[in-house]
Structure 1
Amino acid sequence: MEQIKNELLTVEISEHGAELQSIKDSEGHEYLWDGDANYWGRKSPLLFPIVCGLWKNTFRINGKEFRMNRHGFARDTDFTVLAKGENRIILGLHDTAETYKVYPFHFNLAVSYKLNGNRIHVVWHVENTDSKDIFFQIGGHPAFAVPGCRKGEPMKAKLKLDEAEPMRVFGNVEGCLKPGYHKVETNGGMWEVDEETFKDDAIIFDHQQLKHVELLDENDEPVVSVDFKSPAVGIWNPAGKHAPFICIEPWYGIHDWAEFEGEFKDKYLMNKLQPGASFMSEYTITIGK
């Protein structure tokens, strides 16, 4: 387990999956979900090289079929610490013979965590080390403890969105999406959610409708804020489990459309890198105001 800290925050990161494990303030208050496997055994997995699900867990490259489980393999793979300071750490992963069997591209993937006051900057860097174009999706999946909620009790939370009437993508068809949109009604961006909200899985907003989401306390003050520039974001809780957390997930990628059987490169919200090129993006987690 690796740790970075400053005068306001102490953050722990596991080399397994380069996954956040803890976010505590100077008083020892924990903001991240604890990963209790009775509800959901992860805390903040990194999604790569796909985000969400493939139709029939299958994708095609030049007509050849490959299989990959939901959210890809990075979250279940050990990373290497590339650099570390008191308030910053960089972890890396590159292709291996095993990854090439399921994802036939050569790549370097790095994720860095940097503290700046009460903010955690999460930066993704993907480099094409192949001799051909590579295609990938990438996303975050941080789970935050909902103020006032306990395990085993119905989850209720209040969020504040930077868009008053965003349009969600329809789902869920065997873990994938169907074309179409539905307006999410809020009170000027204030959005109260419960477990029923997520009965059809995550609520997904694409077309970069949202760039800022806050998790509020009982006084409508922000406990955690997430800022991002990704084309999509998912909001999720495991419906029916009485799990006291909310995931706010910036995504450069999304589920397959139901019955999609096209090429991997033609998936919705796919990212492409030419040989030698690289991709970099950042999202930030702010604790408190």
Structure 2
Amino acid sequence: MNTTISNSVLTASINHSGAELFSLKDNQNKEYIWEGNPDFWGKHSPVLFPIVGTLKNNTYTIDGKEYHLTRHGFARDMEFELIAKTENSATFSLQSNEETLKKYPFEFELQLIYTLEEASLRIEYKVINKAAVKMPFSIGAHPAIALPEKFKNYAFEFEKEETLKYYLLENDLISNNTRVLETSHNLVPLDYKLFENDALIFKTLKSNSLTILENSKPYVKVDFEDFPSLGIWTKDQAHFICIEPWLGYSDTAENSGDLFKKEGILTLEANQTFHSKFSIKIV
């Protein structure tokens, strides 16, 4: 089941499965979200919760008891309920249930709120701890921006001049090996070779936004002020780039397994609500 919202500039469509954005078109019917071709990657913009990335051995512990979660958690594979709708906004909800409690022993509600404002789509996350205990979690976005032209015609422009140190993955875990992304006036030309070792993972950035340039002109801007970490990823020869604002990331090989001690984890107090947002702007 799908829900569509629109304004005078944009139309967005969201699948109730995973509350996943799968289309963002302008009023000329130009599509800005990846089509989801399974030959490359069959997703569009999955929601990452209650973890981001991969756990060591897909396992973690709470109070010494083992639980298992696959990469990026379960929210992206679950059916959300549409709980509010206007012409230009839609709110989706996922509640903890018997199935989630086996994998993640916390009572929660996760809300996704999509709102169109002129040429921007704002995507908000609300995590509500419905239990009387502290709840550890991570949350992240994974939107795949469609790149209709040749990959080499695109570049990134980071908001601020900074040293762009990123971490390399080994067996899907964060390693201690780092590299620095070379820039010229904050610009990074796109090249598939950048992603030979999977995603570029930035634990911290000064920049709060990143603009994709098409033929040296602004194309799409992603603002992620509420998210300290960022992943950037594509598949070889695929016509998309994922700009992934994160609160959390994969385990390291040295991780103890205790979810409360996981690097980058957030902790939500009993009966409290966490809120964050990012936006995709067509420029």
Q: How does 1:209-220 map to 2 (within 5 A)?
A: 209-218=206-215, 220=216
Q: Is the 8 A contact 1:165 1:185 kept in 2?
A: no
Q: Which runs of 5+ in 1 are unaligned?
A: none
Q: How does 1:32-111 map to 2 (within 5 A)?
A: 32-111=33-112
**CA–CA separation in structure 1 for the residues paired with 2:47 and 2:20:** 7
Equivalent residue number for residue 252 of structure 1? 247
How many residue pairs match? The answer is 281
Cα deviation for residue 63 of structure 1 reads 1.5
Paired residue type of 2:231? G
**CA–CA separation in structure 2 for the residues paired with 1:267 and 1:27:** 45
Cα deviation for residue 133 of structure 1 reads 0.5
**What SS does the aligned partner of 1:46 have?**
coil
Cα deviation for residue 181 of structure 1 reads 3.6
Q: Call closer, same or farther: CA 1:260–1:155 in 2, change over 3 Å.
A: farther
Paired residue type of 2:164? M
**CA–CA separation in structure 2 for the residues paired with 1:280 and 1:165:** 27
Q: Percent sequence identity over matched residues?
A: 37
Of the structure 1 ranges 254-263 and 9-18, higher mean CA displacement relative to structure 2 is found in 254-263
Q: How does 1:138-157 map to 2 (within 5 A)?
A: 138-149=139-150, 157=154
**What SS does the aligned partner of 1:47 have?**
coil
Cα deviation for residue 166 of structure 1 reads 3.0
Cα-Cα RMSD = 1.3
- Describe the superposition over 1:104-145 as per-residue Cα deviations: whole angstroms up to 9, x where unpaired: 100010000001100111000001001110010000000011
**CA–CA separation in structure 1 for the residues paired with 2:269 and 2:64:** 20
**What SS does the aligned partner of 2:251 have?**
coil
Paired residue type of 2:141? G
**CA–CA separation in structure 1 for the residues paired with 2:149 and 2:57:** 39
Q: TM-score, normalised to structure 1's length? A: 0.94
Cα deviation for residue 155 of structure 1 reads 6.2
**CA–CA separation in structure 2 for the residues paired with 1:66 and 1:95:** 16
Q: Which runs of 5+ in 2 are unaligned?
A: none
**CA–CA separation in structure 2 for the residues paired with 1:257 and 1:203:** 15
Q: Is the 8 A contact 1:156 1:195 kept in 2?
A: no
| 2:223 is the counterpart of 1:227 | yes
Q: How does 1:183-222 map to 2 (within 5 A)?
A: 183-218=180-215, 220-222=216-218
Q: Is the 8 A contact 2:24 2:33 kept in 1?
A: yes
Q: Is the 8 A contact 1:155 1:244 kept in 2?
A: no
**CA–CA separation in structure 2 for the residues paired with 1:245 and 1:88:** 25
Cα deviation for residue 268 of structure 1 reads 1.1
Of the structure 1 ranges 171-180 and 279-288, higher mean CA displacement relative to structure 2 is found in 171-180
Paired residue type of 1:74? A
| 2:178 is the counterpart of 1:177 | no
Q: Call closer, same or farther: CA 1:155–1:243 in 2, change over 3 Å.
A: farther
1:279 to 262, 274, 279: 274
Q: Is the 8 A contact 1:32 1:144 kept in 2?
A: yes
Cα deviation for residue 163 of structure 1 reads 3.0
**CA–CA separation in structure 2 for the residues paired with 1:166 and 1:71:** 27
